[in-house]
Amino acid sequence: MVCFSALVILSTIATTLATPVKRDVELERFVFRRNNSTDLSRRGNPTYNQDYVAGGDVIFTPSGAGTFEVQWDAPTAADDFVVGRGWSTGGVSPITFSGNFGAGSGTGLLSVYGWSTNPLVEYYVVEDSLNPPSFGTLKGSFTSDGSTYTVYENTRVNEPSIEGVSTFNQYISVRSSKRSSGTVTVDNHFNKWGSLGMSLGSLSYQVIAVEGWGGEGIATQTVSN
């Protein structure tokens, strides 16, 4: 989402999450994927690790029970990273996360992140942030999980994606009352996006992600469903 740009251990070191997705330092970078399912039942334990680092000094430490820690010193805008834990295939059931988000400087984001295909979409549900980028075109707002979320859409042209260099949209929900622990009712976001003509396709991986650049910080999160 950033530059704008379940639980399985995602380990991709290419472009933003799961696939190298390099973006300008002004808009986007998140990933989530839908498997055309409306099943709200619990998913299995998070076993997917997301580990994308473009530069800087980033130490990502996943551990048992869906927990991960990341410490970073990424002094320039080019030193972008996205790390986290989740599922290799996304879904619509709620995701619970708990811990801390200690972005000290630069830009930092704590989000549900994923991609879909057919159509190709990169999406974010931003729960906490420091010095966030511009998110794109304002589409509306709604209430979920005790807070108002503002919805944005952005188009990336000839940018890296999970399908290679492509043109794709980004769907972004940004929470007004920031938090580093809570439960995200994912289906509420998907439904709101759909009502605004922002449709997802088949879901790829889905993670609780920490992303940052141009600064330093530390975060620890445990993800469950």
Domains plus CATH for the chain?
8-224 (2.60.120.180)
Confidence of residue 121 (pLDDT cuts 50, 70, 90): very high
d(CA 62, CA 20): 20
Confidence of residue 48 (pLDDT cuts 50, 70, 90): confident
Report pLDDT for 106.
97
| pLDDT tens readout for residues 123-169 | 999 999 999 999 999 999 999 999 999 999 999 999 888 899 999 99
Question: What are the E-state strand segments in 63-146?
Answer: 67-74, 81-87, 95-103, 107-117, 121-130, 137-144
Asked whether residue 17 carries a pLDDT value surpassing 70, the answer given is no
Report pLDDT for 5.
39
Q: Using CB atoms within 10 Å of the CB of residue 65, give its burial: 0 to 12 exposed, 13 to 18 middle, 19+ buried.
A: exposed
| β partners of residue 154 | 170
Annotated catalytic residues are 122, 211
Asked whether residue 67 carries a pLDDT value surpassing 90, the answer given is yes
Average pLDDT, the chain: 83
Report pLDDT for 51.
82
Q: What 8-state DSSP symbol labels residue 27?
A: S
